[in-house]
């Protein structure tokens, strides 16, 4: 087992041999959580009446001083987490049992432990992103663990004994009391999400920009809706118009449906379908409202029989497709160049479907959580070159900065998009720059 040390980790730990980027400051920024968090209220009442008092209570319970004295005893006890769990911990989350890969030492409830994150391979729950098993079986002893780890901080055990980490499928295994990145980051997960939703600041831009022209007669599609933050934001701004939320994962969309219902958004119709095949030309004579009225939702809150939609059905479309996610923070895995290159091609399939589903005169917002230009400016170029009836318009917000130089895009084009890049030293001075990497472009389909 090899380790990646951090400024606050024990000095006698060897450094990782696998995570060696060409720019060390970039890796430090990627592995650190954003310095800001944003909250979207679902109504003016929830913001004015409930949010201030709830935040005060949450903050007072969050910022407490904790002192760990028995450092040597902590070092002997070392739970190790999968990468996804480790990234969540650095953002302020507790450690759920399902995210713990291995452990050792005399661990009992209340004991203090060093916590490490596995940075060997992408993926969580002991699997790679492609679903293949890692070298380590979940529940193995730390001395048998094969791979590179990163020191995360110190936590307090919440289970009765070590075996409970792996025997109990649900529940909290460890609560963090200090992090290697410095102060414990603020986690807003315990706030009531029936009244507001927590997002990174740049993630609020697409729905806000799209909502400028939404009326009660609009038809809105969120093509890749899970986990539901942008759908929730759209719904809070949509003036109770007709909204369709879609994602390929049925499980994720069931969760989105449950979330939206808890927030009181009854105007959202949830489906689960492959967004790259969502438009069906043979349904051109059908009306999208009638299609949903003929197919009531099931017990999971999904219109399960609806897999395709008629062309030119929506006045507004939000497209936030799967991407390389290079802008997300913290991030403990660096994808290969080959993996990153695939996304720009993949996303064009989503865009082509969105253009077909958009009504003449309609508005489409395209966004990603990456700073890879192939997935951003490259996709904008694709839309403008392939579709003469699609016009790039200004996003309408002053946050972030203009796009980068890209073949096929004019200076005027670059000024219309918004790029958020935490790697840019100039942006680290403001709230948007200290958040995540993000990109937004807005198009209008000519009537």
Q: How far is CA 282 from CA 305, 310, 354, in A?
A: 16, 8, 16
Is the CA virtual torsion 107, 109, 115, 118 positive or negative?
positive
SS3 316: strand
Q: What span, in angstroms and rounded, lies between the C-alpha atoms of 119 and 115? A: 13
Judge whether 221 and 235 are in contact, CB under 8 Å: no
Closest CA to 440 of 407, 406, 411, 400: 400
Q: What span, in angstroms and rounded, lies between the C-alpha atoms of 336 and 19? A: 12
Q: Return the C-alpha torsion angle 274, 278, 281, 286, nearest 10.
A: 130
Q: What span, in angstroms and rounded, lies between the C-alpha atoms of 250 and 301? A: 10
SS3 98: helix
Q: What span, in angstroms and rounded, lies between the C-alpha atoms of 240 and 266? A: 8
CA atoms within 13 A on the CB side of 119: 27
Closest CA to 160 of 147, 171, 148, 176: 171
Binding site listing: 224-230, 247, 274, 320
Binding site listing for S-adenosyl-L-methionine: 224-230, 247, 274, 320
E strand or H helix at 175, and its extent? strand 172-179
Asked if 423 is an active-site residue, the reply is: no
CB crowding 135-147: b at 16 or more within 10 Å, else e: ebebebebeebeb
Q: Find the catalytic residue in 270, 279, 365, 369.
A: 369
Judge whether 335 and 374 are in contact, CB under 8 Å: no
Q: What span, in angstroms and rounded, lies between the C-alpha atoms of 134 and 146? A: 9
Judge whether 166 and 36 are in contact, CB under 8 Å: no
Known catalytic residues are 369
């Amino acid at each position: 087992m090899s380790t990646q040390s951090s400024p606050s980790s024990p000095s006698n730990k060897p450094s990782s041999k696998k995570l060696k980027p060409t720019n060390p400051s970039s890796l430090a920024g990627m592995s650190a959580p954003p310095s800001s968090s944003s909250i979207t209220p679902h109504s003016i009442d929830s913001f004015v009446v409930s949010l201030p008092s709830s935040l005060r209570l949450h903050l007072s319970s969050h910022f407490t001083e904790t002192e760990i004295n028995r450092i040597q005893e902590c070092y002997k006890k070392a739970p190790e987490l999968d990468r996804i769990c480790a990234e969540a911990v650095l953002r302020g989350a507790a450690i759920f049992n399902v995210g713990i890969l291995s452990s050792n030492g005399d661990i009992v409830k209340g004991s203090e432990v060093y916590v490490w994150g596995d940075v060997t391979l992408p993926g969580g729950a002991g699997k790679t992103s492609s679903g293949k098993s890692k070298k380590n079986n979940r529940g193995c002893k730390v001395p048998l663990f094969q791979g590179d780890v990163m020191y995360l901080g110190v936590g307090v055990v919440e289970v009765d004994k070590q075996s409970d980490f792996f025997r109990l499928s649900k529940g909290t295994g460890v609560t963090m009391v200090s992090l290697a990145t410095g102060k414990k980051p603020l986690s807003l997960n315990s706030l009531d999400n029936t009244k507001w939703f927590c997002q990174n600041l740049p993630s609020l831009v697409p729905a806000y920009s799209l909502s400028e022209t939404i009326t009660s007669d609009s038809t809105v599609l969120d093509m890749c809706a899970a986990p539901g933050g942008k759908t929730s934001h759209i719904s809070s701004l949509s003036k109770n118009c007709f909204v369709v939320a879609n994602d390929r994962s049925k499980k994720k969309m069931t969760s989105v449906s449950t979330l939206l219902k808890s927030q009181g958004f009854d105007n959202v119709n949830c489906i689960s379908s492959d967004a790259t095949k969502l438009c069906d030309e043979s349904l051109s004579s059908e009306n999208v409202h009638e299609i949903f009225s003929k197919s009531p939702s099931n017990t999971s809150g999904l219109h399960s029989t609806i897999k395709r939609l008629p062309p030119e059905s929506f006045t507004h479309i939000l497209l936030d497709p799967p991407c390389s996610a290079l802008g997300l923070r913290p991030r403990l895995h660096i994808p290969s160049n080959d993996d990153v290159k695939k996304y720009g091609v993949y996303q064009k399939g989503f865009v082509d479907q969105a253009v077909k589903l958009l009504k003449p005169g309609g508005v489409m917002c395209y966004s990603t959580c990456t700073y890879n230009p192939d997935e951003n400016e490259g996709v904008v170029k694709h839309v403008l070159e392939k579709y003469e009836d699609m016009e790039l318009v200004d996003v309408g917000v002053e946050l972030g900065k203009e796009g980068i130089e890209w073949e096929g895009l004019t200076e005027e084009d670059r000024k219309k998009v918004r790029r958020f890049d935490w790697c840019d030293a100039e942006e680290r001075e403001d709230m948007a720059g200290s958040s995540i990497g993000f990109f937004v472009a807005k198009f209008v389909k000519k009537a």
